Every structure is written in structure tokens, then in C-alpha cells.
Structure 1
């Protein structure tokens, strides 16, 4: 029978044990550094080493998250010594986002599995194949992929496929979000996301506004789709939630193991999900109900929890006003002491008695009186939590069954042999003495040896061979037991231990590819902007955001070429099967006589272009992260120039060897999110017509939203543009090869003014920002 892994989250050692007890085959945990949940109760060094051993003693696996972008000082000064003890202990795999981290780990620890994180945004099979060929043994698919894309990924790559099946969904494609970083200074790429998507927003489109938690998706629940996921080739069913409590990890692991086994043993005809199990999961945690995610759809308002961003609880009955300060609840579901109910005014009340179905509950109510009966939700089911806690959390220690044989003969060392599956361990103790008074009895020996206490073992069977008239002290028997169990533990763990052999050369080599001086380039999004850009002779290269509009590309290409400048096509932020097909259907615009080069936003695009024979220069954009020299080295071997990262400060940028091959963005509204969701569709109806709309946060800051209909994603831009023209002299000192100004919905007048500032700054003139701008992370950087 095919083995399907249930992979549970563990934010702590306690949670890990509960997940294993409930049926998880593996857990993923963060160590003390470099994990994408910096605020979880992550294990320290000793706990992590113990966790690895605990997993292996019980036939399970443990994966460690190293899934953040690392800076030079971290990847060069800390990463190797950080990974080494876990590697030597037998860590099963690391989950990585950073290509520099991946290549270094693959070089230094070649026999340890590497899992490509969902943060890598692996949307296409060619990228999957590339990762496989460069060390990845597993791909964690983006949550946005549908079943056919997952099946194609498995079929084409042959690597293990891990897919999120339960828990929180991000609004943005994972790894493509800068919102928390830019507006709050806490980088999701560095494990410190502040979750601004869970805050209230107002969306303005066509003179209509909609308010709510518009960027907050419902939680994912895939129990009904497990047969489809398994048939699509998914090897590991991943549960989200390293910030959640042990009972959450336990119950979700138990139910996903239960239904996975149901399908594997009984097939589709016998597969049925019990509504009560779904109800328990909702009782534990849900945001506005559950969604089955993107597996059978591209997006939709039904996937969003627009009325609240946190646990919604479950409906338990209606409430009506009693006396002035009283609410009467008619229970449609049994309630228990300790349950927490949410009243219409938002207050949470813990009840102090049981209420049967059909019973009534009167509670004090200080909120605004209401006339119509209202829905009452339970946000904590005390009996459910207590039951899961008792079964999986308090009694979480797994025990391995042992067969033991002890031989006690006078004048010989006592000896015990232990057997566990194919493992054998033996230990000898003190010389057995002749009894002077009370000889040993089998019952006493059995009593002492059965006390396996806090070890990983318990005796299933114990045979005792005891000569008459023998004597050993209690201390000697206990010492023999401890020695034997320790020996068995070492025998079982020995196959996992590794000896690290350092690689002779892991130095970074990046050759400077351009000697053409400091260049000024411009990215435009309309023909009107392009007309302004070509007026400036100092502009060497003009990019145009390609959004499926072939005729417009041809027009702007001709306009740019007539002005004697290079025309570069800025390719889609996300390339999936439909996007790939559209690009290739318009091959004419990709040819050399139209396009001189490409601005690349993902590896899928780069690999697609090279596969199809387009050999023009390629420049990787900011979201192909080069936060360290090792990642830069990977990209500079594949592209002609990089874009310097948006989350490093001046000092960190100056320390990048790749800066000489890097173009730096000095002006523009920074894209904060790339989402498969569509705000037009969430708040009304998708028009299938691209445009710019307005999103307003609770502080009344306005963010542009651009729906890119040809490729079906939304771009959300920062509320204020980046302006670094006043520090261009410093950018030159950093060693950057050039600078780029980016325009989205700006007027021709604004474009002309900003380009003028940029050109003057590049000539050494002093310019000053006039208006509301940001310097991004140029000064502050990120933690």
C-alpha cells in the first residue's frame, strides 16, 4: 500500500509529542534561528536535538524550517555551524526558501534531504525540475495550485510533493509578499509577518465601496478532497499551524491520518467524511467557516472571511433579549461548563453549567439591546479541548514495545537481552551473588525491570531465567535496566547519526558582467508614459509591463526603438500553465526584432524563455531574492543582471558582491502583494477588464490595486512611492550598475518630473523629494 505522510506543525516539543501520539508521521519545527515563524515557541538547540531522537526512536520524521531569506552575515557566519549538530544528530530534512541556503546546504551536507518551501513559489514544472537537479528532494507546492498543476508537477519532476491541506491561507502568493515588511517593518521573508491582511480594509471600485476583512481568507479544510489529492500524487499532507496549541496539532493530525487510511484501505466507494469530524475541526479553529481552497478553482469571494479575521467558532443557537440586562440563549447544541460563547456586542462569556439541547441559558448582557433574534457562536468547546488534551497532550509519550530476556546465575554477570523489531541490544551487570538470607524471586525482578519510567520503551514480554539462591541489590537491578535501555536507544539511533565532512571549497565567485557605466532605466505601464520616457536621451533602457496586450507591446517597442533605446519586456509576476500558454501564443513579441531583453519575475519565465530558444539578455527583478552572495551567485550564473533586493539597507547592499551586476530601484510604488484573489470578484463581480482601483486601510492610507486580468492576479502597491533619487550618489558608491524608475498609474506630468529628478541625480546634481515618499528599507533594513 502506498505510504502517504501526514505532516503536522509543531511550535514546541510538547506539540510535537502530541502530534506523533495522534498519528502524524512527521512534524516540521523551527529551531532557534532562521524559521518563518519567529514568534512561535521554537525549540532551543538541546530541545531540537532531543526532538530528532524522539522522532527516530518512534519511527517518525522531523523536518526543520530554515525557510527565511538570509543576509551575508548569517549565511557565511552562522548557517553551517547552526546546521551541523542537527545534521550529525540525524535531522531528516531542512525546509528552505533561499536559493543561497539551498546550494550551501546541498554542498556541505549532501546526504540530507532538502525540501523547497512554499515560499519559493514553485508554480511551474520546469522550476520544479531545476530544483530537483540542484538538490531538492521535495517541493512544497504553493497553496494556489489546482489539482491538475499538482499532478503535473509530480509527473514531470518525480520528486516528493508536499501540499498544504489544512489551516490558514495567505492572501498573497507565499514568498511574494512585502506588505508587512514595508508598512510595519516586520518581514514575512524573515519570519516576522505582522499579518496586515487580517486587518480591516475598504475597497473602492467604480464609485462603490466595500469594507471588511477583504484580504483575510477562510481556513483551508481538505478532508473531502483527500482522494483527489492522493490520486494527484501528493506524498505529504501538510497541516499549517506552528503558532497553534498542541490540541490543534493533535486533532488535525488524528483526523487526516484517519481519513487518509480510510481511502488507502477502502477506496473511493467507501470514503465518507463524518460531519461530526468537520464540526470538531470548526469548533477547534476556523475563520468564517472552511474552504477547500484553490484545488478546484482559481479564486472566489466564497474563499474569503470578510466579516472577521479570527476564530469564528460554531453556531450553537439563537439569542434574544430578556430583561434590560439579560440575554436568553436557546441551545441547539449541547453546551458544557467552561465553554465560551460570543455575544452580539462582541464580549466573550465563559458559562458555568451544562446545557442540554433545547435548554435555555440566561446571561448578563451589557450590550446594545436588539429586537431580532441573533446567532450565538461558541468560540471554545471546553469538553473537546479537554478530551483531546487528555488523550494526546497529557499522555503524549509514545512507548516502543520490547521483548526482554534476563539471565541471572550465581558467580556470573547478570545479562539482559532486548529486542525491538530488527534491533538487538544487550547489557551485563554486576556479578550475581549467592543469597545469604532472602533470594531473588521472579516477581521482584519483573517489578524492577518493568519500571521503564520516562524512557521511550515498555516491555511487551519479559522472560526471566533465574537460578535458585541468587541475590542482587535493588540498585544493581535498576542499573542493569537503565544500562540495557540506554544501549537499545543507542542501537536504534545509530543508523541516523552522521559524521560531517567539510567541503574543501565553498567560496563565492561572482564576476562583474557590465563595464558600461552607471545606467538609468525606466519601467512604464502605458503608452503615454513611454512617450515621456523616450524624450530623455540619458535613458538607456525602457521596460514595459507585459499584461497579455500584444498590440500595445508592438506599438511601444516601435516607439522605443525609433528613439534609439533598448526595449525590455517586463514579464508576469506569476507564470502558471495558462500564463505560459498565453506567452507562447504571442511568440512574436518575444523575438529579437521586437524585444531586446526581459525583466524576469520568476524562474519559470526564465526557464521557459531559454527552453523556447529566446537568448536575449535577462534581468531578474527584486522578487528573485538576492539577499546574500550565494543566492546572487545562483542567479548571476543564469541572468545577465540582477535587481538589488528591497529589504536590505545601504550597508548590507554595499556588502553584496553582486552589486556590480545589480540595478537598484530608486523610484516607484513597490508591489506589496501578488494575489490569485481578485478584489473585484470578492466585493462584487469580476469585469475581466484590467484597471487600477483603491484599497484603504484603517488609518486611511490608500493603496493602488491593479487587476491583471490576462494572467488573473491582483497587484497591491504601497500607499506611497519609493524615492531614493536624493541618495543616488550613495547608490553609485555601493557599486550598483544602474538605477531604475518604475511607473504604474502616474500621469505623464509626474513621469516627466520623476525622470528629470533621476537624470539630474545620476549626473551628480542634488535633488530633493517633494511630496509624500518613503525610503523603504534603504536606511532601516529588516531584522
Structure 2
């Protein structure tokens, strides 16, 4: 926004730009040592999960509810904020347990919770309006338009998806008042968080429930137009390098980011200490100098804690080749050098970096083939002499390993060698958080008033705004020979060792040459510090309601906010999603009256509507799953030939339909998993809602029982959309370009699939905005559950096509029509179509290590 025009009433100081505020440094913690590592190395806030589920890192150690009091006391005592991750989807039958968990979180003074599920956000807001809600990156809020809708839930901060560039962040910031948080370091998911169904589709595990199986880190082969492509050693086509955005911190500050987040709740305490300390330094540099220049040694140290290779991710925009080089997917560390000679029991290395005894080394090789080797350095020999470590000047060294660690016959000259572990570095990192006394203290501003004839007064204020004061009981006497001075008071009042504070500023008012006894200064200093510490660990009073879930469920559902709402059909109705004009024509000719079009070329939508109308059928257009800044125009194009409505895959599309008065069908990508989410979508104008694919059969039945059946549309046949990515595989391996501006659009002319380790070839497609989706090659059918759905009143069923021709389209539709009519049973349908007999995930619930409600 432009600055206001100068005014005569403004003072010179008032007309100056508002000083920049340093962004919060937010560090991860999967266990107690990680919490200490974050505190001692400069984090302003820490985020962590609970082991009762509902957090997106189920494999982390996590904390129990009975840890919360001590966690928050520890954090607040040190001036650090604490955020709890409640960032998974919740099912209808879990909301009662979650209600009690959220109440406990609110009571102990947690500073915010991170949420993915719209229903969980509604529940938390109803339980405690004073508990801040941060929208997790898994809520997929990628634009000001999507944020505006989510803001209706009471969200107070949005974690921007990792796929957002600095320029896009700046644009979003200019269009919303919502505080924005961005990831600055750590592992990158190739798929949009909250939109990845790969673990679910291939292994029955839901990433939206914290059970990601990391299928993106596996090797894939590329088939283009039916032919295998020789990509050399490029095999890990979906495994991004790790994000290291330290150099872009000044730009992110200018773009409006309020918090910089380090990924890593599954990482070690040494990792947390290492990365937090370097980013504390980087933020301080950015605020002081406007640039960040970390020395090469600092970058090496960060890579030694964990690295698949560093990149700036999407922060500088899309460079698909840099993002996914594709040659490896595991932690490597730093490149040490290469082999110049292989001996029977040792190797000669040409060095690029220093090396010490005890360091861990890894030799380049094929991880999948088992040819990667590694071990610890047992001995180092320089010119025949044993040494403990090399220096920067040493360029060649003989390395001896422990007996049996290395098969030297498998090594060869020229093979690259990586330094994967540095015990000296780990020892230094552990010292940063393993001592008894605090390494990092809160700044404290103090005021001392020493006036002869009046009691000594001391006031202290923390950076967070807590204030404590105390005064002596007797008036100060006039000094005979050693009156109090600023220097004397500073030396005595600043003795804060052993506490978690350090003196930042001291303001002294000394009048009448008073004598100030040291014992009195010490007593008042201890008093105000103890007062401040007590304030810091005492949670603020919050209103916590005990009937929140009941209240939300008893509220009237409300009418759909659109003039185009339709009555439920009197018989079951089949809708069909088509991805080609051939499928549209075939489905309309078959007699399907309600079609969805999901095309790569937006120019074909008009023709799809025309073809359908020839058979008295209507076409709704499927929106993009992601809507980013500058893409609102895609909606406006549709108004030229208005469709019958829209299949809404993001909140911006739902808002657009509400503004236009178009019928809106909420799709699976909005992750409606419980009745509270469904009610909210209905209130926003959704005519029907497609439940999240994370629900298995039992959980889906529970949702159907919790809302009016006519609200829901069930997908009974589909190829599961596994990875949905900003990353473009077409550009990365089939083009000389780096992004959609110079790639030549190979997606328009080539048919591509990726072959996984089991030999299955999964189709890859690009959408209008050049985002890629990898679909499961094997269709999934809910045919066996259809009879139960019908008994519960479901009347809208959807078939989603992928690459089927007209004949296959007609065959599939005939099969499902016969199923709905009762002429075929579910088992014969999925067997006939060679589909997986599955609804959503195989294992939909998460096991808790302990009873999450044991202390409530």
C-alpha cells in the first residue's frame, strides 16, 4: 500500500518509515533435547507435536499431554513461544477426544496451535476464542483469495506453502493483513502439503494423518510415448534437494514474512542446535546489514547435520533442474574429494576439505543396488606419517578404515567421497545446549531510582513486556564519602548470572548523593527477577468452554448460499469426470446428464459444453487444485461460456462461485473429513461435498451419518491422484528449459508415465498452470460399499476417468449403472474392472503410544 501523504500535523519522527521488525525464528522439537537445543541457540519460538496423534509427524518422539505444563514453563521462562501442531485431518468419531485435548492445550498457555482441518479450526475457536490459530502449510492457502476465506475461521497466521516464491509472497502480503510464515530451511516435499495421496494410494498410509511413507525419495524410470528414456544416473525424479534459504532472508523480510520456520521434527538435537544457531546469525545479519553472508564453513556445518544437497527451493521461482537433480535422495553431507588410488586396506584421497580421525565417510554408489559404502576413518597418513587431522593445505591423504568396514574391491579411482559425519562438530553442538547454566539469556531493561531521603526503587522489563518492581523499606541516607554512581549501580544490578536474563539497558536516576548498600541492590534485583520468572511461567487466564462440540453440532446447518441449489434426485445419479473431449462425447451419448470437465487446455471447455448440450447434458468445470497470485484470471475466462457450475478444488474457487451465484461442488482436495468441516463448506455455498480420500469405509460411513446425505457426493471409481506438484517432470527431463517460460511445453506433445520399483507405470499429466499430477495406474473402486451408501441415503455417485477412450468410457459407465440399478454386485464390478477394492485408506486410524487423555 502507498504511504500516506505528508501532513503538517506530523512530526519529523512520525513521518519516518516504520522500522523493520525482525522475523520470528521458529525451530522444531521432536523431543526434550531438541527443545533445549532450540532455546539455547536462539529460537524465538518452538513448534512440537503430541503423541496422541493429530500431528503430521507421527514418527517423531513427540510429547505427551502431561508434558505440556513443564514444556510451556520451560519455554516461557526463557522468553520463547510454544506452538503445538494439531495439523492433521480429524474424523467425525475422533472430535470428542480432540475436544478434550484442545481444552488442555488452551489451559496451559500454549501460544498457538497449527491446524490443517477446517473443522478442527472451528472446534478450537469454539473451545477457546483466545487460543491463536495458525493455518498449517497443509491447509494449502496459496493466495490472498484463499486466505480471505480461511480468515473466516479466526485464523491469525498462515504458513505459506513451500512452493511460493518471494515475489508471490510479497504479492500476497500486499493483498492481505494476515501475518505470513514461511519455511526457510529443511526437507522439501515434492507434492503440495495436504495434497499428497501417494502414501495412501500405494501403502494405505495417510500423509494427512502424519504417516507419510516418503515415496518421493524412491527411484522412478520415465516412459515417454511408450519408450523407456535413458536418463543416465538421473533416477530420483521426484526427490528435491533440501531448502537452504538463508541468503534470501532480507528479501523475505521485505516481502512481509513475520516468521521463518525450520523444518525438522524428525531430526536430532544436534541438527536443531546447528541450524537454529546459523539462522539466528543470518537473521541478525539481515537486520543489521541488509544482507546475509554466512561463511563457507557455516554452510558445510549445516550440511553435515543433514543435507540432500542445498537449494533455494521455490523461493526464487521455479528452476526444476536445480530443484530435483535426480541423482540421489539420501543424506550425503559435504563433498570431501575423490579416490586417486585404491590399496588393499586403504585409499588415497584427493581432498577438497579437511578430514579427521573418527569422521564418517560415504562413497558414491547406487543406494538401490546396495553399492553405496561408508565407514569411519580409523587412521590418517600424510607422507607416511600418522596424523589426527588434515589442514586446509593438505590436498592428498591416505585413509584407513576399521577392519571389515569397506570392501575395497568395489572402490575405483575417480569415485566421489562424501564426509557424512563430524564427531567434533557434534560435540561442539551438544555443548551448546547440554550445560547446566543458560547459554542464551533474555534481554532485560532496568530502571533504578536512587534519591536521598527516599527508598531505593528497581523496575525491570522483559522483551515480551512483563514488568516487575520493588523498593526498599528504608529511605536512602546521604553518603559521607562514596555516593552511588551509574557505574556502581550497573556493576551490581547487572549480576544476573544463573538466571535466564542479561542486562540490555539501564536507566539510573540518582539525586542527593545517596548511599546505596550493595545488599539492598542485591535483594531488590533478586526480587524483581523472581517476580518476572513467576510471571513468565503463569499461564494467562483463558475462557475454555466444555460444550463446544455439542454447540457446533446443534447449530442449524443453514441453507446453501446460492440460487442454483438443486433438490436431491429421487433415484441415484451417476456423475462423470472427463479429461478429454472424447470422454465428454462418449459419456453424454451414453446418457450421463451431469459431467465434470478437467482439461489441460482451457480453450477446450467451450467445446465440451457444446458437445454435452447436444445430448441435453450439463458440464461443470473442475478448478485447479492450486490457485496462486495472478491466476484469478483463469476463473474469469470461464465466464465467457458459463458452465453449469464448478467443481471447486480450492477456497478461491468456492468464493468465486459464491460471488457469481454458480452452483459449487466441493472436491476431495479441500479435505473434508468430519461433519464440522462439511457444515462450514455448506455454509460457504457448497451444493455438495466430496469427502476427503483419507477416509476409509468405516470413517466415511460415520461422516455420512453425521450430515444430511444429500450434501455428499461419493467417488466410486478413480485413479488416485498421488503426487500433485509445482515441480514439472516434463520440464526437468524432457526440455532444455528450466521452467514454464522456456520449456517449450513438452507436456502438450508427449504422453509420459513413471515406472516405480514394482514395474507399475503411473500416468503423469500437467494441468493448465503446468502443475503435474502423477496418477495411480491401477483404478480404485468403492463398488462393494455402494449398497451401504445407498441405505444411508447417498444419491450422488461419481466416476472419474483418466486416459480411457470412448469404448472404455462406455464400458465403465455401463458397469456402474448396472451396479446402481442393482443388476450387479460390488465384488463383480471391481473384479471386472481390474480395480483395487478400496475406499480411501486401508488403515485410517492412528495408534497412540499412550492414552492421550490419561490426565484429564
**What is the TM-score when the length of structure 1 is the normalising length?**
0.86
The yes-or-no answer on 1:604 pairing with 2:652 is yes
User: Against the structure 1 CA distance between its residues 212 and 79, is the aligned structure 2 distance closer, same or farther, given a 3 Å change threshold?
Assistant: same
Alpha-carbon offset, residue 165 of structure 1? 0.8
Find 1:664's aligned residue among 688, 709, 714: 714
Once the two structures are superposed, the pairs formed by residues 370-409 of structure 1 within 5 Å of their partners are 372-394=413-435, 397=438
- Per-residue CA deviation, residues 691-741 of structure 1 (Å, 9 max, x unaligned), is 541111111122111122x31111111121012234422221233231001
Report which stretch shifted further, 508-517 or 53-62.
508-517
- 8 A contact 1:654–1:735 mirrored in 2: no
User: Against the structure 1 CA distance between its residues 25 and 617, is the aligned structure 2 distance closer, same or farther, given a 3 Å change threshold?
Assistant: same
Alpha-carbon offset, residue 420 of structure 1? 6.7
Q: Give the structure 1 partner of residue 535 of structure 2.
A: 491
In 2, the alpha carbon distance for the partners of 1:238 and 1:624 equals 24
User: Against the structure 1 CA distance between its residues 706 and 692, is the aligned structure 2 distance closer, same or farther, given a 3 Å change threshold?
Assistant: farther
SS of aligned partner of 1:772: coil
Alpha-carbon offset, residue 496 of structure 1? 2.9
Report which stretch shifted further, 668-677 or 565-574.
565-574
User: Against the structure 1 CA distance between its residues 107 and 716, is the aligned structure 2 distance closer, same or farther, given a 3 Å change threshold?
Assistant: same
- 8 A contact 1:669–1:721 mirrored in 2: yes
The yes-or-no answer on 1:540 pairing with 2:581 is no
Find 1:36's aligned residue among 56, 61, 69: 56
- 8 A contact 2:238–2:324 mirrored in 1: yes
Q: Give the structure 2 partner of residue 655 of structure 1.
A: 702
- 8 A contact 1:24–1:257 mirrored in 2: yes
Find 1:56's aligned residue among 72, 76, 82: 76
Q: Give the structure 2 partner of residue 749 of structure 1.
A: 807
User: Against the structure 1 CA distance between its residues 420 and 236, is the aligned structure 2 distance closer, same or farther, given a 3 Å change threshold?
Assistant: closer
The yes-or-no answer on 1:110 pairing with 2:129 is yes
Alpha-carbon offset, residue 634 of structure 1? 0.8
Unaligned runs of 5+ in 2: 1-18, 365-370, 379-387, 447-456, 473-494, 507-515, 560-565, 736-742, 846-856
Unaligned runs of 5+ in 1: 405-415, 429-449, 467-480
Once the two structures are superposed, the pairs formed by residues 354-365 of structure 1 within 5 Å of their partners are 354-356=389-391, 357-363=394-400, 365=406
SS of aligned partner of 1:507: helix
Alpha-carbon offset, residue 630 of structure 1? 0.3
In 2, the alpha carbon distance for the partners of 1:232 and 1:402 equals 30
- 8 A contact 2:205–2:842 mirrored in 1: no
Q: Give the structure 2 partner of residue 232 of structure 1.
A: 255
SS of aligned partner of 1:164: strand
User: Against the structure 1 CA distance between its residues 64 and 549, is the aligned structure 2 distance closer, same or farther, given a 3 Å change threshold?
Assistant: same
- 8 A contact 1:336–1:382 mirrored in 2: no
Alpha-carbon offset, residue 333 of structure 1? 2.0
Q: Give the structure 1 partner of residue 303 of structure 2.
A: 282
Alpha-carbon offset, residue 758 of structure 1? 0.7
The yes-or-no answer on 1:521 pairing with 2:575 is yes
SS of aligned partner of 2:71: helix
- 8 A contact 2:30–2:267 mirrored in 1: yes
SS of aligned partner of 1:348: strand
In 2, the alpha carbon distance for the partners of 1:716 and 1:374 equals 34
In 2, the alpha carbon distance for the partners of 1:458 and 1:228 equals 31
In 1, the alpha carbon distance for the partners of 2:501 and 2:636 equals 60
- 8 A contact 1:427–1:484 mirrored in 2: no
Alpha-carbon offset, residue 143 of structure 1? 0.7
Once the two structures are superposed, the pairs formed by residues 150-229 of structure 1 within 5 Å of their partners are 150-206=169-225, 207-209=227-229, 210=231, 212-229=235-252
- 8 A contact 1:664–1:740 mirrored in 2: yes
In 1, the alpha carbon distance for the partners of 2:843 and 2:615 equals 38
User: Against the structure 1 CA distance between its residues 362 and 252, is the aligned structure 2 distance closer, same or farther, given a 3 Å change threshold?
Assistant: closer
In 1, the alpha carbon distance for the partners of 2:301 and 2:841 equals 48
Q: Give the structure 1 partner of residue 838 of structure 2.
A: 776
The yes-or-no answer on 1:2 pairing with 2:20 is yes
Alpha-carbon offset, residue 778 of structure 1? 5.1
Q: CA RMSD in A?
A: 3.1
Report which stretch shifted further, 524-533 or 172-181.
524-533
Alpha-carbon offset, residue 531 of structure 1? 2.0
- Per-residue CA deviation, residues 390-433 of structure 1 (Å, 9 max, x unaligned), is 123445745669999xxxxxxxxxxx9996756448899xxxxx
In 2, the alpha carbon distance for the partners of 1:323 and 1:189 equals 50
SS of aligned partner of 1:623: helix
Find 2:688's aligned residue among 628, 641, 660: 641
Alpha-carbon offset, residue 57 of structure 1? 1.5
The yes-or-no answer on 1:616 pairing with 2:662 is yes
In 1, the alpha carbon distance for the partners of 2:691 and 2:153 equals 23
User: Against the structure 1 CA distance between its residues 51 and 305, is the aligned structure 2 distance closer, same or farther, given a 3 Å change threshold?
Assistant: farther
Q: Give the structure 2 partner of residue 47 of structure 1.
A: 67
Alpha-carbon offset, residue 30 of structure 1? 0.6
- 8 A contact 1:96–1:102 mirrored in 2: yes
The yes-or-no answer on 1:673 pairing with 2:699 is no
Report which stretch shifted further, 616-625 or 503-512.
503-512
The yes-or-no answer on 1:301 pairing with 2:301 is no
Report which stretch shifted further, 742-751 or 573-582.
573-582
Q: Give the structure 1 partner of residue 377 of structure 2.
A: 351
Q: Give the structure 2 partner of residue 472 of structure 1.
A: none
- 8 A contact 2:144–2:629 mirrored in 1: no
- 8 A contact 2:338–2:415 mirrored in 1: yes
- 8 A contact 1:247–1:392 mirrored in 2: no
In 1, the alpha carbon distance for the partners of 2:111 and 2:840 equals 38
Alpha-carbon offset, residue 487 of structure 1? 6.2
Which of structures 1 and 2 has the larger relative contact order (alpha carbons within 8 angstroms, sep 6+)? Answer: 2
